[in-house]
Amino acid sequence: MSEYTMTIGGAAVAGSDRFDVSNPATNQVHATAPECSREELEAAVSAAQDAHAAWRADEAARREALSAAAKLLKESAAELGAEITAEQGKPLREAGYEAIAGESWLGYYANLALPREVIQDDKRAFVEVVARPLGVVAAITPWNFPVSSACMKIAPALAAGNTVVLKPSPFTPLATLRLGELLRPVFPPGVLNVVSGGDALGARMTEHPGVRKITFTGSVATGKQVAAAAAPDLKRITLELGGNDPAIVLDDVDVDAVADGIFWSSFANAGQICSAIKRVYVPVALHARLVDALADRARNVKVGDGAAEGTRLGPITTRPQFERVRELVADALARGARAAAGGAPMEGPGNFFAPTVLTDIEDGTRIVDEEQFGPALPVVAYRDLDEAVARANGTHFGLDGSVWSADPERAAEVASRLDCGTAWINTHLMQGPNQPFGGRKWSGIGVENGPWGLAGFYELQTLYRSRR
Ligand code: NAD
């Protein structure tokens, strides 16, 4: 049983109290993690505050450390991947890719320059606009991509000269704790602190007077609590929240050519991706064929323990999320929808739900209107494209969307009308460290990635040198 430790001020902290972590493929406890006490959180924030002055002053050292961290992620991908699979459930190969994604984020920010611009240089003054770090950043992550979510936050936060206290989800703390252990030799003590604990720990971090910025990825409901907790102290926030991404299929599409792309953009990671396709709008004339093509893939995909050879879809990571998917599918079926594939939990001890394709379904059904975050996809028929766009935009969410067509220009015109942060054409889920990612409306505030994401971790200072 792995017994990973927190990283506070560069030291290992086992914690006086620990909580159980289960493998979602078996629902058996396979490890414990430290429950960070109030005193330990104080120590982590103090260590981050103490480390800040030296860290913010040395950009070259920051770049070097981030490059070394990227290298370590690459070398440790298999080890971290195994830990991710055991606590989160995804197949080993994808879990390894998650660590590699972490490497690319750390490497990208190791090489991205902070802006510094001369806006006046004359006999009156020399005036520059300079990026200054914020101080201590609280980074809070969800359970679907523990390692890559963490790296998406710590890479730009540290690159900009901040220090960090990172907290993973209590469902998936282990790979993140291990990440902290692996990176201990890379960063000076206190620069990167990793703590673990329940939701109350996250709340304490967001209220902590020593924290100047909160970068949060998680549900809309928690995001609103984070925003409220930040308000009295005017802490800066970046919120990456839920999505209910629509895919709009146009009437010129070759169904067989797009079915794989739509299927995997919805069901990868067992549907537990903020930016997965969560509803499909397809013209009436193509509806039955697309439903059949997706249902065929859903029936034949290999579902199982992510550690087993050949598994393509793992379990749902948490029991509450499994229950939610079960409830939303049952609600749809009770309202007259039909399961063209799946529709119910699978036999066995883990959180396995049969990949489900729902047809005979409309907006106004919970699984169309809400975020299911699981392996169940409603396929909705439409008659009029403008109406489909209106329905796609007609929710509180605005994370991403995609348009599928034989004519990319026509698709781009439709995509331009989607009220969301990223609009893809003939693909979905494609992200990279250089590509801004964030949600409109209830899907978030601010963006991650690229120079735009870095900008969330500094504030501008106008440095005015008088020449008079
Ligand atoms: P969650 O909101 O329940 O928890 C996320 C994190 O917040 C956890 O670490 C949790 O312990 C912590 N937390 C809980 N209550 C808190 C509070 N009051 N203050 C501070 N922290 C608190 O979300 P989840 O169930 O872990 O993740 C699933 C959700 O995350 C889905 O809605 C999904 O769409 C969203 N998500 C969004 C993105 C994105 O980039 N937009 C990416 C991945 C997941």
Percent of the chain with pLDDT over 70: 100
pLDDT tens-digit readout, 120-159: 999 999 999 999 999 999 999 999 999 999 999 999 999 9
Burial of 38 (0-12, 13-18, 19+ CB in 10 A): exposed
From the CA of 111, how far away is ligand 1's center (Å)? 29
Q: Which residue minimizes the CA distance to atom 30 of ligand 1?
A: 218
pLDDT confidence of residue 1: 55
Q: How far is the CA of 142 from the centre of ligand 1 (A)?
A: 4
154-203 residue pLDDT tens? 999 999 999 999 999 999 999 999 999 999 999 999 999 999 999 999 99
For the chain, give percent helix, strand, coil, nearest 5: 40, 25, 35
Q: Residue whose CA is closest, atom 38 of ligand 1?
A: 274
Q: Sign of the CA dihedral 132, 138, 144, 145?
A: positive
Rounded Cα distance, 332 and 363, in Å: 11
Share of the chain above pLDDT 90, in %: 99
**Known catalytic residues?**
240, 274
pLDDT at 2: 65
- Residue 73 tokens, joined: 């992620």
What is the C-alpha separation between 44 and 7, in angstroms, rounded? 8
- Give the binding-site residues of ligand 1, using a 6 Å CB cut-off: 140-144, 167, 169-170, 199, 202-203, 206, 217-219, 222, 225-226, 240-243, 274, 371, 373, 399, 439, 444
- CA 181-184-188 angle, to 5 degrees, is 160
Question: What distance in angstroms lies between residue 403's CA and the mean position of ligand 1's atoms?
Answer: 28
327 pLDDT more than 60: yes
CB 163 within 8 A of CB 45: no
Q: Which of 21, 169, 213 has the most ligand 1 atoms within 8 A of CB, as the residue to mutate?
A: 169
**Which residues have a Cβ under 8 Å from the Cβ of 28 and sit 6 or more positions away?**
22, 349
pLDDT tens digits along 370-389: 999 999 999 999 999 999 99
Closest approach atom of ligand 1 to CA 225? 18
Atom of ligand 1 lying closest to residue 242 CA: 34
Distance CA 186, CA 179 (A): 11
DSSP state of 172: S
Residues 6+ away with beta carbon under 8 Å from 172: 21, 84, 87, 88, 143, 146, 317
> Distances from the Cα of 183 to the Cαs of 76, 190, 203, 347, in angstroms?
11, 12, 25, 40
Give per-residue burial for 367-392: e unless 16+ CB within 10 Å, then b.
bbbbbbbbbbbbbbbbeebeebbebb
pLDDT tens digit sequence for 241-258: 999 999 999 999 999 999
Ligand 1 atom with least separation from CA of 220:
32
